[in-house]
Amino acid sequence: EEIGIDRAKLSQLKVASMRPASLDAPISDDDSTEFGEIVGDENAQTPFDLLSHKNMHSQLDGLLTVLDERERKIIDARF
């Protein structure tokens, strides 16, 4: 306000002036860890979830073998 710029405009200017950080950039000068190594994907499945999903599909495939062709087609169409 002292320099005649609205707070909202000043906030926009601060955001615009920020430089993007590289995921390959080191965290600090004395550390070999890169920024990309510590940033997680919130939407990624955990290894446990992936394994559980794979096991469930294997079990279902085994169960579907006891059905005749018509029954398998019905189940496939439904799910």
Is residue 56 pLDDT above 90, yes or no?
Answer: yes
Which CATH class, in words, describes the domain spanning 7-78?
mainly alpha
Q: Find the angle CA(19)-CA(20)-CA(25) to the nearest 5 degrees.
A: 115
pLDDT (tens digit, 9 = 90+) per residue, 4-41?
A: 788 888 888 888 888 777 888 888 777 788 888 888 78
Compute the average pLDDT of residues 58-75.
92
Q: From residue 23, how far is each of 20, 55, 71 by CA, in Å? A: 9, 34, 50
- Binning the chain into helix, strand and coil, the percentages to the nearest 5 are 55, 5, 45
Tell me, what's the pLDDT at 1?
A: 54
Q: With pLDDT > 70 as the criterion, what percentage of the chain qualifies? A: 97
Contact (CB, 8 A) for 8 and 16: no
Domain boundaries, the chain: 7-78
Beta bridge partners of 26: 34
